[in-house]
Structure 1
Amino acid sequence: MAVCALSDAVLIAAGVLGTGALITAAPAAVVVLRYVGAAFLVTYGIMAARRALRPQSLITNDGPANDGGAKRGVAAAVTTVLALTWLNPHVYLDIALLGSIASAQGTPLQWWFGAGAMLGSILWFCSLGFGARFLRGFFAKPLSWRFLDGGIAVTMVALGAGLALGA
C-alpha cells in the first residue's frame, strides 16, 4: 500500500513539475515504453492464467517455519508492484494529462491541485489496503484465487494487446 501511494505521489509530482511536456516531446520513448509495457502486461497475464488453470501453483513450500518465505513474499510483492507501476505506459500518459491540468490552474494553484491528487491517491490505496481485510474470508478459498487470477489474466492480456495494437 505504501509503495503504491509513494510511487503515485512521485508520479503526480513529476506531472506537476512539467515532466508531461518532456514525455510529449519524446514520442519515440513513448512508443518504446508502449511495446515494453505491452509485453510486460501480456506476460503477467499469461502467468496469472497459468495460476488460474493450475491450482497446485497456488500452494507454496514457504510456510511459517521457513524464514525466507515471508521475506521472499514481500520482496516479490514489492517488485511486482513497482514493475506494474513504473513499466505501465499508461502512467506516463497520466503524468502528461495531470501536468497539463495542473499547469492550466496557474502557478500557485497547480501545487494545490497536485497535493489534492496525491491525497486522493493515498486515500484510494489506504481504502484498498484496509478494505482487503473484509475479503480475507473469501480469499481463504483457493477457488476464489483462481477466479481472481482468471480475471487478472483476461484484463492484463486485453490491456497488453490494446497497447500493442495502439488502441
Structure 2
Amino acid sequence: MTLDPLAALAGLGFGLSLIVAIGAQNAFVLRQGLLRRHVLAVVVVCAASDAVLILLGIAGAGVVFAAIPWLTTAVRIAGAAFLLGYAVLAARRAVRPRALEAGDPQASPGLAATVLACLALTWLNPHVYLDTVVLLGSVANTHGDSRWLFGAGAAVGSVLWFTALGYGARLLQPVFARPAAWRILDAVIAVVMAGIAVSLLLGL
C-alpha cells in the first residue's frame, strides 16, 4: 500500500472549496458566532457531521443515493420544509426590534434547540449529500490507497472553517452593535434559506 501525503493537502483544499460559500449552514454558524451563544456546540456539530458524511462518501454511500432515487426526493422535501420555516423565523426577527440585540435572550434559543436546528440544517440539506458524500467521496476514491488521507484533509478543512467562522464572527461585533445591521443580516438569512428551499423543490 502506497500513501501520498499530498492527498491530505488536496483533501483540505477541496473540502474548503465546497464549504466556503454562503449557505444555510454557514449563515446559521455566523449568526450564532455574532450572538456568542453555543458557538462551540455549533462548531462541533458542523465539523463532526462533515467528518461522518466524508467517511460515508469515501466508504461508497453515494452509490446508495444513486440506487434509491426516492430517498433523495424525501430529503429534498423535508429539507425544503425546514428551510422555509427557518426563513419565516429569520424574517420575523428582521422586523421585530426586540429580537435585534445580541444581548436579548429571545434572540437565540437554548442549547438543545440550537443543536437540533444545526443538525437539521446539516442533515436535511440534500446539497450536503451531493457535495460531501457523492462529489467529495468520488474525488477521494480517485486517490486510491490515499483516499482516507484525502478525507482526513477535508475533515480538517471543515474544522478550520467552522471554527474561524464561529469564533471570527465576533470581529464583526462593532458593526452589529447597530440594530439595523441585525435587521439586514436576518433579512439576508431569510432570503438565503428561502432561496435554497425553492431550489430544492424545483429540483424534484
TM-score range, shorter chain: 0.7 to 0.9
State the shift of 1:61 in Å: 7.2
The farther-off stretch of 135-144 and 25-34 is 135-144
Residue 55 of structure 1 pairs with residue 93 of structure 2: no
TM-score where L is the length of structure 2:
0.72
Matched AA of 1:129: G
Show CA shifts across 1:70-124 (max 9, x none). 9x52222212111111111111112111111112221x11111101111111111
Structure 1 segments of 4+ aligned residues over 3 angstroms from their partners? 57-63
RMSD: 2.2
Tell me how far apart the structure 1 counterparts of residues 75 and 118 of structure 2 sit (CA, whole Å). Answer: 17
Deviations 1:33-69 (A, max 9, x none): 1111111111111111111122234468749xxxxxx
Q: Please tell me whether Structure 1 or Structure 2 has the larger radius of gyration of its CA atoms.
A: 1
- Is 1:32 the counterpart of 2:58? The answer is no
Runs of 5+ unmatched residues, structure 1 = 64-69
1:92 pairs with 2:129? yes
Tell me if structure 2 keeps the 8 A contact 1:24–1:96.
no
Aligned residues: 160
1:1-167 superposed matches below 5 A: 1-58=43-100, 62=105, 73-94=110-131, 95-106=133-144, 108-166=145-203
- Note if contact 2:83-2:196 (Cα within 8 Å) is conserved in structure 1: yes
Query: C-alpha distance in 2, partners of 1:61/1:17?
Result: 44
Alpha-carbon distance between aligned partners in 1 of 2:159 and 2:52, rounded to the nearest angstrom? 12
Report sequence identity in percent: 52
Task: Give the Cα–Cα distance (whole angstroms) in 1 for the partners of residues 136 and 189 of structure 2.
Answer: 27
